[in-house]
A and B are shown apart, each in its own frame.
Chain A
Amino acid sequence: AQSVTQLDSHVSVSEGTPVLLRCNYSSSYSPSLFWYVQHPNKGLQLLLKYTSAATLVKGINGFEAEFKKSETSFHLTKPSAHMSDAAEYFCVVYNQGGKLIFGQGTELSVKP
């Protein structure tokens, strides 16, 4: 069965510093992986997706994620955090049944 584990429930960074949100996945085959973002009182928005093409995936708002099969990881990064990045981030794996399995979420706080 497919699953994702987000290693941090909360991450706090200062504005202008790098962001790293960690995600490990479990899958018996080559997975499709996604990152979604949920701003306060908003719906979820797709940030980026990996579907077995390039292992480094670029998304919106300067975010990117690298698929590392050997480490079963799909960490989300951004070189420089902005106040508007404060939100909850979900790592998601697509399972063979055509369903999305969401991680528990990582809340990102950005300090001025």
Chain B
Amino acid sequence: AQKITQTQPGMFVQEKEAVTLDCTYDTSDPSYGLFWYKQPSSGEMIFLIYQGSYDQQNATEGRYSLNFQKARKSANLVISASQLGDSAMYFCAMREGQYKLSFGAGTTVTVRA
């Protein structure tokens, strides 16, 4: 069974607007970590933001915020004030027992000027 589901293969967003990338996860472990990574066309994996399963508040890092809804098992990434440099593939990932990190299939974001 898929542990991480990203249902949006691709999205377009206008420059300076916000975009929400969906992510749902599946685990029975009470302790887990949720991560978002960015992969630009150059190919490197860039860590963006982390949310712990016991964290009471949604994580924020600059223009990135994570909308964590534990009961729904969702961890959506919000990118505010989109920039052309935000055009990339975005991956949601979950870390649980044995420290393994499982990735979703990814969402391609294209920012239009």
Report if A and B associate in a common complex: no
| A interface, CB within 8 angstroms of B | none
| B interface, CB within 8 angstroms of A | none
